[in-house]
Amino acid sequence: MTHPTLVEVMSQPAFYPHKPDTVTVIQTHISFIFIAGDLVYKVKKAVDFGFLDFTTLEKRKYYCEQEVVLNRRFAPDVYIGVVEITEDREGNLRPGAEGAIVEHAVKMKKIPEEKMLYRLMEAGRVTEDDVVRVGRHLARVYGNIPSDEGAQQFGTPDVIATNVIENFDQTRKYRGGPVSGEAFDALESWSRSFMAGNIALFDMRIAQGHIKDCHGDLHLQHICIEDAAISVFDCIEFNERFRFGDVASDVAFLSMDFDFNGESGLGDTFVGAYVDESGDASLRDVLKFYKVYRAMVRAKVTSFMLDDGGLDDAARGEAFRRAQQYYELAYGYVTHED
């Protein structure tokens, strides 16, 4: 379990060697994030959700190390390393000091919030040149990631079908709620038909070397455009099935997020830049399939919030509306003629 005083102590500026003026604490369902001046420390919670398991100190150390190694591929200047949190004989907790190791933290440089892609979009400050740069950056990153035998197994029709059908099995109970029965059935039918009719296409994607150890969670909130630098961060480190796959699935995720935010033109520009830089012409043949898949993933995660008894009516209503939007986006993909 997490050390009982860890969050309280790490919330204090005195804990950090660089003595920040303030510390801001952000909590997610799997992490505590401490923004300490120009540095960020991220501690994993001792939780087990089935698809991830951080319940032991050894596992949290391993996944902290994985987070640094995997994310340095996309943002080499952001991820500094893993820091040991130790406890001395007097019970004081310190980073990287002598004593018993009680926790591990990922140490990162703080990314300027105002330069995040979603913030720039909210401010109307994203240009076509910006998204072209993002597309080219990602094409170069993925170009340096090998498509080895271990990765290729995640691109087989059987594994793809497992992921896609799992989405429908886990969201079926929301038919008649944020998604109509008609739309849900059309989405499932279209997805199953596409998979059944394009086995040769999926096999070709494997043969062409497009199945890789990817990002897995590539959307607007995980990209920063800061002057000449582009940083892509927070890839999935805790579950290979969620990260490995066709690079087209990652590209489709970001393209779908542009669509969701009413900027389909920028999404098209991004995809075009990626294809031009990578030379991956067949990506377009699977793009809509993976956009449907990614929209359904977001719809599923948002729908799950409706089952959270701790949400008030306002939060539940917002979750319902947002889930409905993702289902509608996915339905629009399958009913719109290319």
Domain covering 115-335 in this structure, CATH number: 3.90.1200
Question: What is the pLDDT confidence band of residue 265, given thresholds at 50, 70 and 90?
Answer: very high
Question: Which H or E run contains 43?
Answer: strand 39-44
Contacts of 99 (CB under 8 A, 6+ apart): 86, 87, 88, 89
Question: Which H or E run contains 302?
Answer: helix 283-304
Contacts of 72 (CB under 8 A, 6+ apart): 79
Q: State how far the Cα of 38 lies from the Cα of 20, in Å rounded to an integer.
A: 8
Q: Which residue has the tokens 């719809």?
A: 299
Q: Measuring CA to CA, which residue among 192, 252, 257, 259 is closest to residue 220?
A: 257
> For 51-90, how does the pLDDT look when each residue is reduced to its tens digit (9 = 90+)?
889 999 999 999 999 999 999 999 999 999 999 999 998 8
Calculate mean pLDDT across residues 85-103: 91
Amino acid (one-letter) located at 244: F
Question: Which sequence spans correspond to the domains of the chain?
Answer: 6-110, 115-335
pLDDT of residue 1: 61
> For 183-218, how does the pLDDT look when each residue is reduced to its tens digit (9 = 90+)?
999 999 999 999 999 999 999 999 999 999 999 999
Region of 37 on the Ramachandran plot (φ > 0 left; ψ -120 to 50 alpha; else beta): left
> For 218-235, how does the pLDDT look when each residue is reduced to its tens digit (9 = 90+)?
999 999 998 888 999 999
* Residue 83 three-state SS: strand
pTM attached to this predicted model: 0.90
- Give the angle subtended at the CA of 292 by the CAs of 307 and 232, to the nearest 5°: 85
Q: State how far the Cα of 53 lies from the Cα of 30, in Å rounded to an integer.
A: 10
> For 232-264, how does the pLDDT look when each residue is reduced to its tens digit (9 = 90+)?
999 999 989 889 999 999 999 999 999 999 999
pLDDT of residue 338: 66
β-pair type (31-36, 23-27): antiparallel
Q: CB of 305 within 8 A of CB of 298?
A: no
Region of 154 on the Ramachandran plot (φ > 0 left; ψ -120 to 50 alpha; else beta): alpha
Calculate mean pLDDT across residues 128-152: 96
Question: What is the pLDDT confidence band of residue 97, given thresholds at 50, 70 and 90?
Answer: confident
> For 17-30, how does the pLDDT look when each residue is reduced to its tens digit (9 = 90+)?
999 999 999 988 78
